[in-house]
Amino acid sequence: MPEASFRRSAASGLTPMARRLAAILACMPLTLLAAPLVLPKPADLQREAVEMARAGKPMVVLYSQANCHWCEQARSYLVPLSREDGTGDSALFRQIDLDSDARMVDFAGRSTTQRAFAGTERVRFTPTVVVYGPDGRQLAEPIVGMRLADFYGQYIVQAIETARERMNAVPR
């Protein structure tokens, strides 16, 4: 009889653990299907500037580099914002890598690389977020580093709002 009691308690002890394991395994496909944290790389900023002007949208650019933990943290805010109703519709989101020689066209239509463009823009630290208007001018104060993580998303939203206000301002 004591042996049967032992089996019952051992089996009942495994049941909650087995349920938790099943729940974890059931969620795995969802995490595998989750969209990766990537932002589009610009190919032709001059062409995208035409779309920006037509739609009245600024462009949010994350300057990043490989093996940058803080850049991953910044992307964890920017990617969801880029997909969110409202915020994602109010700006274009792009990523430029300071350590990439991928070809691109700048706002003036000149052929360059991501690395050279970042140098021209005097971006030295990553992550840096810059909000541009269709003419390639910076429309908000750059966000350099991660600052306070609790407020990082709000800093980005505020920069987008500032840029949209400046784009819509009519000279008097």
Question: Could you report the per-residue pLDDT of 10-35, keeping only the tens digit for each?
Answer: 445 556 555 554 555 555 444 444 55
pLDDT at 7 over 80: no
Q: What is the pTM assigned to this prediction?
A: 0.76
The answer to whether residue 89 is domain-embedded is yes
The answer to whether residue 128 is domain-embedded is yes
The answer to whether residue 154 is domain-embedded is yes
Q: Can you give the residue range of the structural domain that contains 162?
A: 45-168
104 burial (CB, 10 Å; 0-12 / 13-18 / 19+) is: buried
The answer to whether residue 39 is domain-embedded is no
Residue written as tokens 């009942």?
12
Three-state SS at 35: coil
Copy the structure tokens of residue 104.
């691109």
Give pLDDT, residue 169.
Answer: 78
Note the helical H segments in 34-111: 45-55, 69-83, 87-90
Tell me, yes or no, whether 28 and 96 share the same domain.
Answer: no
Average pLDDT taken over every residue of the chain? 84
Question: What is the domain count for the chain?
Answer: 2
CA–CA distance, 136 with 46 (Å, rounded to integer):
9
Tell me, yes or no, whether 62 and 100 share the same domain.
Answer: yes
Q: Specify the CATH number for the domain of residue 136.
A: 3.40.30.10
CA distances from 48 to 73, 111, 150, 164 (A): 26, 14, 31, 16
CA–CA distance, 152 with 162 (Å, rounded to integer):
15
Cβ(98)–Cβ(126) under 8 Å? yes
The answer to whether residue 40 is domain-embedded is no
Cβ(144)–Cβ(63) under 8 Å? no
Displacement of CA 2 from its chain's centroid (Å): 59
Give pLDDT, residue 29.
Answer: 47
pLDDT band at 122 (very low <50, low <70, confident <90, very high): very high
Other beta carbons less than 10 A from residue 79's beta carbon: 19
Quick: pLDDT tens for 88-106: 688 999 999 999 999 999 9
The answer to whether residue 158 is domain-embedded is yes
Residue written as tokens 């700048």?
106
Amino acid residing at 79: V
Q: Which residues contact 25 (CB under 8 A, 6 or more apart)?
A: none
Tell me, yes or no, whether 79 and 158 share the same domain.
Answer: yes
The answer to whether residue 26 is domain-embedded is yes
